[in-house]
């Protein structure tokens, strides 16, 4: 089921599909439910819904309301499909809702409530992507904050700055940095009187998360990490003392990082090394921390292989990957993505990293990945995607337009020989600069996904998700 506008027809179709899949003949109840839903939808359109707007703020939660999890027919679950507001930027009502939501997430400081600032969009957006945010790096969110930031914890402000300037980039790095900042927040936290730690701390974290979301849209891995932390905090028993509770949460965070990131990387490297044989020519794209780790491990285990690093503008992350590989002594070749079909006949395997794995088996990764997978498929070269399970996401997407991230368009401007041709691009009315960050690769192009649970085909991702949900 793809994310789509909440029209009645779709609801009916899905309900009918679900009832068919469950194989139960509850047509009467089905009809009753449909009628109820219609009424509820009308109500929702009229009144402002706090919960719904908060839910829609989190990508995962909004889709999970209509998610693949099986729903029992006896529960009258609200099947209201809400689009997350970060992909409805061209709708002024949604923007107003977002502004109000930020106001509501105020943190009371010295009796006065100060709100999280709203970052404004920059520049002309290409019409196909006008529903997404586009920010400029030259207008950081800190412009609107007071300098000794009292509203937002300084560690979170620092993190937000590092995200927006690209100093911390890459799914794993962002998650680790986020958890590090949360640890500092939790350390500096004191429970106000008459409040419970389990509820108050979660409320404290909400404005920080909105702030970080404004600096740079949250990644799927960060979303999962946040969910985990919130769950841990809310599971703290009320009679627990503050120090004990805080140390418990800090330990949980450390466990999460150790288990889901560090150990997972080791496990993935161990299984991936089996797939690397001697005299292999491996193609990698951009700088993925996990793929680099695998290559380092394989090189330590004395496998003989060489690497071709493919890079693309404007990020040119491949240079960093190239530097790290060459530093270890691995022999590398460097090409730009435009030369990928030239170089592919030499390649024996393609290793790709992922930003997230979606519930329908699509791989969301850096823009250009799907192109490489497509060309590799055409040349019959196996494509292996390496991804930890904490990046698995319950969202479903079949194209790169619906939900994406637009980076600063000024990054595309380059100065060669003293001339900057695109300097005044804003004045040309028919010109738009588009700097996409992510794209989705269909599962037909991916031959294998290597996770710490083993090597699974792309279509088994929903199974892993289901197993994970049952575990938790």
Partner 1 sequence: MELQAVLMAAGGGSRMTDLIYNTPKPLLPVGNKPLMWYPLNLLERVGFEEVIVITTKEVQKMMSSDPKMKLDVKMKLDVVCIQEDGDMGTADALRHIQQKIKSDVLVVSCDLITDVALHEVVDLFRAHNATLAMLMSKAHEFTETVPGQKGKKKTAEQRDFVGVDPSGKRLLFMANEADLEDGLSIRKSIIKKHPRMHIKTGLVDAHLYCLKKEVVDFLAENKSISSIRGELVPYLVRKQFSKTANRQKMKDESEDQTQKKNDDSTNQELLIASRDESLLQLAQERSCWNDHHGDMSEAYHGGKLRCYVHILDQGLCYRVNTLAAYIEANRLAPKLFEEPAVHPSAVISEKCQMGSDSMIGALCQIADKTSIKRSTIGNSTTVKEKVKVTNSIVMHGVTIEEG
Q: Which residues bind partner 1 (CB under 8 A)?
A: 140, 142-143, 145-150, 154, 157-158, 161-162, 165-170, 172-174, 176-177, 179-180, 183-184, 187, 257, 262, 286-289, 317, 319-321, 323, 326-327
Minimum gap (Å) between residue 333 Cβ and partner 1: 17
> Given the complex with partner 1, which of 60 and 288 has the nearer CB atom?
288
CB 424 within 8 A of CB 235: no
Helix, strand, or coil (residue 223): helix
Contacts of 176 (CB under 8 A, 6+ apart): 257, 261
DSSP annotation of 87 reads G
> Which of 39, 187 has the CB closer to partner 1?
187
State which residue, 68 or 326, has the beta carbon closest to partner 1: 326
CB of 164 to partner 1, least distance (A): 9
Residue 192 tokens, joined:
């106000």
Q: How far is CA 323 from the centre of its chain?
A: 26
Q: Which is nearer to partner 1, 62 or 162 (CB)?
A: 162
Q: Are 152 and 208 in contact (CB under 8 A)?
A: yes
CB of residue 173 vs partner 1: minimum separation in angstroms? 4
Which of 38, 328 has the CB closer to partner 1? 328
Cα 201 from Cα 151, distance rounded (Å): 15
Q: Nearest approach, Cβ of 101 to partner 1 (angstroms)?
A: 23
Environment class of 64 (CB within 10 Å of its CB; exposed 0-12, middle 13-18, buried 19+): middle
- Nearer to partner 1 by Cβ, of 145 and 344: the residue is 145
Q: Which two tokens stand for residue 74?
A: 């006896």
Q: What is the spatial distance between Cα 317 and Cα 336, in angstroms, rounded to a whole number?
A: 11
- Provide the minimum distance between the beta carbon of 328 and partner 1 in the complex, in angstroms, as a whole number: 11
- To partner 1, the closest distance from the beta carbon of 321 in angstroms equals 7
Tell me whether residue 30 or residue 320 sits nearer to partner 1 (CB atom).
320
Question: Per this entry, what is the length of the chain?
Answer: 472
Tell me how many helices (H) and strands (E) the chain has: 16, 12
- For helices 242-256 and 220-234, what crossing angle results, to 10°? 150
- Minimum Å gap between C-beta 263 and partner 1 is 13
Task: Measure the CA–CA gap between 52 and 390, rounded to whole angstroms.
Answer: 25
């Amino acid at each position: 089921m793809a994310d789509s506008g909440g029209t009645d027809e779709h609801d009916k179709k899905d309900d009918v599909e679900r009832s068919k899949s469950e194989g139960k003949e509850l047509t009467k109840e089905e009809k009753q439910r449909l009628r109820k839903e219609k009424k509820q939808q009308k109500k929702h359109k009229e009144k402002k819904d706090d919960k719904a707007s908060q839910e829609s703020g989190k990508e995962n939660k909004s889709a999970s309301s209509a998610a693949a999890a099986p729903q029992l027919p006896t529960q009258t679950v609200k099947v209201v499909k809400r689009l997350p507001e970060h992909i409805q930027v061209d709708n002024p009502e949604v923007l107003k809702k977002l502004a109000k939501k930020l106001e509501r997430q105020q943190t009371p400081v010295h009796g006065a409530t100060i709100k999280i600032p709203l970052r404004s969009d920059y520049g002309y957006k290409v019409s196909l992507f006008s529903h997404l945010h586009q920010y400029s790096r030259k207008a950081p969110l800190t412009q609107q904050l007071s300098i000794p930031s009292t509203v937002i914890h300084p560690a979170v402000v620092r993190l937000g700055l590092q995200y927006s300037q690209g100093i911390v980039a890459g799914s794993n790095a962002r998650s680790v940095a986020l958890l590090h900042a949360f640890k500092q927040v939790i350390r500096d936290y004191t429970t106000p009187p008459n409040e419970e730690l389990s509820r108050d701390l979660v409320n404290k974290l909400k404005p920080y998360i909105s702030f970080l979301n404004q600096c740079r849209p949250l990644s799927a891995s960060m979303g999962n990490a946040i969910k985990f932390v919130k769950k841990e905090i809310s599971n703290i028993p009320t009679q627990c003392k503050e120090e004990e509770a805080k140390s418990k949460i800090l330990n949980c965070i450390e466990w999460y990082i150790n288990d889901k990131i560090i150990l997972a990387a080791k496990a993935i490297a161990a299984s991936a090394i089996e797939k690397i044989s001697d005299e292999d020519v491996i193609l990698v794209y951009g700088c993925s921390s996990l793929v680099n780790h695998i290559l380092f491990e394989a090189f330590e285990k004395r496998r003989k292989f060489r690497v071709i690093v493919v890079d693309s503008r404007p990020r040119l992350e491949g240079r960093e990957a190239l530097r790290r590989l060459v530093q270890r002594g691995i022999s590398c070749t460097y090409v730009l993505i435009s030369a990928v079909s030239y170089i592919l006949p030499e390649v024996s395997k393609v290793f790709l990293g992922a930003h997230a794995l979606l519930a329908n088996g699509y791989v969301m990764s850096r823009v250009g990945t799907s192109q490489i997978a497509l060309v590799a498929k055409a040349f019959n070269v196996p494509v292996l995607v390496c991804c930890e399970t904490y990046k698995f996401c319950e969202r479903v997407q079949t194209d790169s337009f619906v939900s994406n991230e637009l980076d600063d368009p000024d990054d595309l401007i380059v100065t060669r020989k003293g001339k900057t041709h695109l300097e005044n691009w804003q004045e040309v009315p028919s010109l738009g600069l588009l700097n996409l960050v992510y794209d989705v690769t269909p599962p037909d192009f991916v031959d294998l996904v290597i996770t710490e649970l083993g090597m699974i085909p792309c279509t088994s991702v929903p199974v892993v998700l289901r197993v994970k949900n049952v575990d938790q």
